[in-house]
């Protein structure tokens, strides 16, 4: 691994970009620049809410039965962050790189929809999208309108102390699918399997890329953390862009310490 500090290093990365399309794997770090604290970091949601409860389907249901107001508080805090967040220059730079044919796709661990809002068209969301609904049985997906979502949050807070009113509200916003199962927010919770089709496409992308950007990812969450190893085995160069070294730094060919929103636009100039 070498730190990117010279024009020669930048030219070297550009030469690899010319040999074939690059792929970007993004984590919570790029979203932190848009005002979304990392879940595990300082000020993140897991400081206030136990992830073993609020990121677990069975525990969520149990908590709703016993303390529905806690579920309302959690969803309100989560979506107050997501609804206010806007794409930053790093998101826009990746979208522009795709438009120019430099970048093949974005693989993201984030659920905030910011890559799509920035204009990226080929995005593989490994952990789902908080602005999509997914059928629990057949996995059919549908969009979740932002205005309706904001309305849902307002109504939840109004009815937070009434489990029955909340149930009626949820039945309206999370309808039944044609297969008769119910829709839920399209987020992968602890213990759940990632979407096989999305993970397969992500694996195919890293196996065929000549360069992989690791952007704002800690490298500790699997199976996303195994993707850089697959790219490395196929001969791709690995470029890490992060505020701090990660668990994957040791396999990287280049390391750029800093903000993605400041670094990525340099590749388009």
The catalytic position among 91, 115, 127, 132 is 127
Is 20:73 a contact under the CB 8 Å cutoff? no
3-state secondary structure of 160: coil
Bridge partners, 184 (sequence order): 134
Q: Is 132 one of the annotated active-site residues of the chain?
A: no
Q: DSSP characters for 98-147?
A: HHTTSEEEEEE---S-HHHHHT-SSEEETTEEEEEEEETTT--EEE--HH
Q: Is the CA virtual torsion 45, 51, 54, 56 positive or negative? A: positive
- The Cβ of residue 245 has, within 10 Å, a number of other Cβ atoms equal to 15
Q: DSSP characters for 211-262?
A: EEEEES--S-STTGGGHHHHHHHTT-EEEEEESS--TTGGG-SEEEES-HHH
Q: H or E segment at 29?
A: helix 28-32
3-state secondary structure of 159: coil
Bridge partners, 199 (sequence order): none
Bridge partners, 129 (sequence order): 186
State the catalytic residues. 127
């Amino acid at each position: 691994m070498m730190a990117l500090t010279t024009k020669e290093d930048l030219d070297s990365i550009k030469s690899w970009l010319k040999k074939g399309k690059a792929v970007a794997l993004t984590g919570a770090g790029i979203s932190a620049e848009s005002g979304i604290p990392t879940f595990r970091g300082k000020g993140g949601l897991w400081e206030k809410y136990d992830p073993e409860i609020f990121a677990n389907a069975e525990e969520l249901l149990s908590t709703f039965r016993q303390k529905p107001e806690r579920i309302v508080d959690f969803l309100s805090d989560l979506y107050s962050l997501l609804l206010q967040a806007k794409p930053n220059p790093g998101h826009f730079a990746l979208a522009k790189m795709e438009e120019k044919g430099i970048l093949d796709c974005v693989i993201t661990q984030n659920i905030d929809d910011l890559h799509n809002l920035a204009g990226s068209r080929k995005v593989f969301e490994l952990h789902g999208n908080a602005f999509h609904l997914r059928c629990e049985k057949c996995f059919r997906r549908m969009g979740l309108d932002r205005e309706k979502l904001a309305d849902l949050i307002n109504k939840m807070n109004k009815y937070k102390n009434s489990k029955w009113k909340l149930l009626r509200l949820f039945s309206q916003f999370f309808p039944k699918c044609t297969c008769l199962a119910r829709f839920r927010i399209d987020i992968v919770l602890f213990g759940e399997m990632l979407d096989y089709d999305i993970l397969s496409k992500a694996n195919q992308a890293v196996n065929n890329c000549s360069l992989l950007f690791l952007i704002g990812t800690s490298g500790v969450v699997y199976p996303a953390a195994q993707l850089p190893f697959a790219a490395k085995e196929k001969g791709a160069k690995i470029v890490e862009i992060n505020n701090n070294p990660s668990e994957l730094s040791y396999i990287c060919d280049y390391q750029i310490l800093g903000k993605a929103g400041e670094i990525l636009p340099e590749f388009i100039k």
